[in-house]
Amino acid sequence: MSHVVAVSFRRGHHFSKTPGMSIRLLAGLGVDGDGHCGVTVKHRSRARKDPTLPNLRQVHLIHAELFDELAAKGFRVQPGDLGENVTTQGVDLLALPTGTLLQLGDSATVELTGLRNPCVQIDDFQNGLVAATLDRDAEGRLIRKAGVMAIVRMGGDVRPGDNIRIEWPAAPHRPLLPV
């Protein structure tokens, strides 16, 4: 069964977030109290270019299976370390299309907007980690494995152990692209 493994947030702009017992998602804003909460873009480099852009990165989700893959390569990564708000298990986040809705727990719902593009801060956390979060498919196309980004469609509390329900968007499906 697909479920939430961990939830994390942190005030201000920091790379890693602090795991907790619950987070509150606010519709149209993000994670209550988190440095990326807001209607407009909060990612520093994007905000410098145009602070009026919509915030398509309100919630960052990573699949716990990535941590196992990274451990096999010699990295030690725990929930919240890579800046994610929600750590999932049993959901192939990277295979879901843009616009997929994920109901987290009883009521919170997020809509997937795109892939997280691994940045230099990941290497600052652990040297070589950026390369470990990238791969190539059989045709040589780049695969970004550092999680997905979402906006909050319906607010609510999310806790470790909460079930995840997936609602696919109407076809045709568009693949997740970096946001």
Report the C-alpha gap between 12 and 176 in whole angstroms: 27
Rounded distance between C-alpha atoms, residue 88 and residue 105, angstroms = 12
Tens-level pLDDT at each residue, the chain (179 residues): 899 999 999 998 889 999 999 999 999 999 999 999 999 999 888 888 999 999 999 999 999 999 999 999 999 999 999 999 999 999 999 999 999 999 999 999 999 999 998 888 899 999 999 999 999 999 999 999 999 999 999 999 999 999 999 999 999 999 999 99
Residue 57's alpha-carbon distances to 40, 43, 158, 162, in angstroms, are 9, 8, 17, 22
Instruction: Give the per-residue pLDDT at 7.
Output: 98
Give the span between the Cα atoms of 80 and 68, in whole angstroms: 15
> For residue 173, is it left (φ>0), alpha (ψ between -120 and 50) or beta?
beta
